[in-house]
Amino acid sequence: MNWRYEQTALALCTLAFTGTMVARLVVSPLVPEITTQFGVTNGTVGLALSGMWLTYALAQFPSGVLGDRYGERRV
């Protein structure tokens, strides 16, 4: 791999990670608006958010195993 490719791949991965993290974290400040718009309780929204984070956490282990098994590939 040449240096230019590595820089581009790193920049794209950083941008993708930042975008997905912002998308996950932006939900919490919106809980009051979500409860009003959809007519649900804070507990219901909290349960949904807990499910999202639990799924994310449980996916980390299999993702790591798959990454180790298949190794690095060109993006």
- Asked whether residue 33 is assigned to any structural domain, the reply reads yes
User: Could you tell me which residue, 56 or 74, shows the higher pLDDT?
Assistant: 56
Q: Tell me the Ramachandran region of residue 71: left when phi exceeds 0, alpha when psi lies from -120 to 50, beta otherwise.
A: left
Please report whether residue 41 resides in a domain: yes
What is the mean predicted confidence (pLDDT) over 11-40?
92
| Within a domain: 62 | yes
Out of 2-6, 20-24, 27-31, 39-43, give the one with best mean pLDDT. Answer: 39-43
Reported as a pLDDT band with limits 50, 70 and 90, residue 67 is confident
Mean pLDDT of the chain: 88
The answer to whether position 8 is within a domain reads yes
| Count: domains in the chain | 1
Q: Give the domain range for residue 64.
A: 3-70
The answer to whether residue 75 sits within a structural domain is no
pLDDT tens readout for residues 36-52? 999 999 999 999 999 98
Pick from 72, 67, 68, 24: which is nearest to 48 by CA? Answer: 24
